[in-house]
Amino acid sequence: MDSIVVTGGGALNGQIPIAGAKNACLTLMPATLLSEEPLTLTNAPRLSDIKTMTALLESLGAEVSALADGSVIAMSSHEANNPVADYEIVRKMRASNLVLGPLLARHGHAVVSMPGGCAIGARPMDLHIHGLEALGAEIELKEGYLHAKAAKGLKGAQIELRFASVGATENILMAATLAKGTTVLKNAAREPEIIDLATCLRAMGAQIEGDGTETITIQGVDRLHGATHPVLPDRIELGTYMLAPAIAGGEVELLGGRIDLLTSFCEKLDEAGISVTETDKGLKVARRNGQIKAVNVRTEVFPGFPTDLQAQMMALLCTADGVSVLEETIFENRFMHAPELVRMGAQIDVQGGHATVTGVERLKGAQVMATDLRASVSLILAGLAAEGETVVSRVYHLDRGYEHVVRKFQGIGAKIERIKNNG
């Protein structure tokens, strides 16, 4: 199993290009199931999760081709006649459940395994099921599979989510595009990825209004056509690399970065003493002066502080001046990186959904183990500022969400390498 070795101590300078958003691309790819005509995505990230979604779509009968070194994905679902999403593929990735709505809308039935992904919480499917049932689907859980059918087709409905779930919003949004009549989805998620999906669906002929707000209105159409759509920049990759010069010192420009994708995150960086300035190419990030200041962080649905940047922010606050409190409100098991940071000399006390971080003068390199995707990169960030060498094991998680992570860190002067272990 591969490891990543980081030697800390040097300031970071240079530029990092930001890839297309993983979470957006994984949502956009199942949209091909809604139409018999081709859907092409540009600015696609080159990640293992994209390969997993490709395998899933191909298992359903879709044709998927990676072009331009993987940055363009050309798809056609003309022959996609298999409505069964098998456990062996779905178990690898949470986003696999996003084929449920499109399969149900187009074929009137679907059999989809309950999903897998990082072990950071239960993340149940009940909101997805509630929304699709409101559209007229009958759904039953049998032997780990959701068996869904809508013999007479889906019909528009008034739906209110009790929690602004991104995945449920996406599944319902896609299904409703082909439902008869009007669907009004209240307490919808407002993430940029939702807007990106709606933009793509409109390009395919869908009638959608209100994306980016709490209420989305979808007027069902008889069919969708093909389209070409650019994937928006990955705000989580952006935030992760913004923290690199904040932790290690130096100045880094994030090519393609946009403040509007991370307003709450940028506000916390400003509070901590980090400068974020817009350039004609993206964003430039540097410490303003001296030591990082302690700040309190509460994860929230968009536009709040992203849960997917909580682990990375904790790495920054480990050497801040003072005591910081991080509150995780989205997932109940997302502090698994804390014990690994403690191995590096951090002072962290976890009590339920709260982590109290007392800043120390310096972290020290150690052997640590990645527990999930975002935890993996948080340990690399911590290693950049630590004294000595940090060895991060189980880094296969990284390949799911970060494109060329070692190369990008090396490009700004980080002393980092990936060690192949074939044992």
Q: Does 196 belong to an annotated binding site?
A: no
User: Any catalytic annotation for residue 266?
Assistant: no
**How does pLDDT run across 308-367, given as a tens digit for each residue?**
999 999 999 999 999 999 999 987 777 989 999 999 999 999 999 999 999 999 999 999
Specify the DSSP class assigned to residue 75: E
22 is in an annotated binding site: yes
**C-alpha dihedral, 409 to 412 to 413 to 415, nearest 10°:** -10
Q: Is 330 annotated as a binding residue?
A: yes
CA 195 to chain centre: 14
- Which domains occur in the chain, in start order? 3-19+233-419 (3.65.10.10), 22-230 (3.65.10.10)
Contact 197, 173 (CB under 8 A): yes
User: According to the annotation, is 126 in a ligand binding site?
Assistant: yes
As averages over each run of 10 residues, the pLDDT of the chain (423 residues) reads 92 97 96 97 94 95 94 95 88 86 94 63 74 96 90 96 93 98 97 97 98 98 98 96 97 97 97 98 94 96 93 97 95 86 97 96 95 90 96 89 94 96 65
From the list 255, 210, 206, the residue with the least C-alpha distance to 43 is 255
The token duo for 87 is: 């456990």
Q: Do 361 and 225 form a contact (C-beta atoms < 8 A)?
A: no
Per annotation, catalytic residue among 118, 200, 266, 318: 118
Tokens encoding 308: 């997917």
pTM given for the model: 0.90
314 is in an annotated binding site: no
Return the structure tokens found at 377: 């990169």
Helix/strand/coil (H/E/C) assignment for every residue in 283-337: EEEEECCCCCECCCEEECCCCCECHHHHHHHHHHHCCCECEEEEECCCCCCCCCC
Over residues 256-292, the pLDDT tens digits come to 999 999 999 999 999 999 999 999 999 999 999 888 9
Q: Is 243 part of any known ligand binding site?
A: no
Instruction: Report the C-alpha gap between 301 and 348 in whole angstroms.
Output: 24
